[in-house]
Amino acid sequence: MKGSYQAANEWLEAHPLLWFVLAAVVPGLTYIGAQIVIGGESFATAAPLGAAFGLAFAVITVLGNWFFSD
């Protein structure tokens, strides 16, 4: 990584709680948006699955980084 990407990565590594929240929120909101736009679901039905997906994504990412870190 170079420049601003490396600086952003270092900043996120220094703030693990914010990193975890972003790792959960971004995929969760993407899932919710896809279910609303593509699947025709309402927000109320898509939100619980989106939250579960985002949380699972973040936990698996954290575990993967922990087990396979250099």
18-58 per-position pLDDT tens digit: 999 999 999 999 999 999 999 999 999 999 999 999 999 99
The model's pTM is 0.80
32: in domain: yes
Q: What pLDDT, on a 0 to 100 scale, did the predictor assign at position 42?
A: 96
Give the per-residue SS3 of the chain.
CCHHHHHHHHHHHHCHHHHHHHHHHHHHHHHHHHHHHCCCCCHHHHHHHHHHHHHHHHHHHHHHHHHCCC
6-15 per-position pLDDT tens digit: 888 889 889 9
1: in domain: no
With cut-offs at 50, 70 and 90, classify the pLDDT of residue 1: low
Q: Can you give the residue range of the structural domain that contains 59?
A: 17-67
Q: What pLDDT, on a 0 to 100 scale, did the predictor assign at position 13?
A: 85
- Using an 8 Å Cβ cutoff, are 52 and 29 in contact? no
CA distance 42 to 39: 9
60: in domain: yes
2: in domain: no
49: in domain: yes
